[in-house]
Amino acid sequence: QVQLVESGGGLVQPGGSLRLSCAASESIFGQYDMTWYRQAPGKQREFVAVIKSRYTTAYADSVKGRFTISRNNAKRTVYLQMNSLKPEDTAVYYCKAKLKSLEYWGQGTQVTVSS
């Protein structure tokens, strides 16, 4: 069982930045594909960004050029650097770890973009 703990959320003004972290308990963290999702009130959870075990990345069109996903396997942590934040980025952000058929989710961290 992999435990994931997200942190770094908060309230930020439009145009501001936040960096989310997701720390994993699993020693073989480096083998997992790590994905960030988000869920806004009244909406379905949506894909934000993924970083594979081999460090390839992909982003949702809505965040391309503004968000950057990265990982530090030695620290068992994946990051989401969010710049130029917009009110529509407001959501609970979740990280997911996936290895073959196994999937694990964190509890989420709230990001609110508002003036």
Question: What is d(CA 95, CA 26) in angstroms, rounded to the nearest whole number?
Answer: 14
What would the pLDDT profile of 2-36 be if each residue is shown by its tens digit? 899 999 999 999 999 999 999 999 878 889 999 99
Neighbours of 78 (CB within 10 A): 29
What's residue 72's pLDDT?
96
Helix or strand run (H / E) with residue 33: strand 33-39
* Closest to 36 (Cα-Cα) out of 94, 102, 83, 105: 94
At position 31, the amino acid (one-letter code) is Q
pLDDT tens digit sequence for 41-58: 999 999 999 999 999 999
CA distance 22 to 47: 16
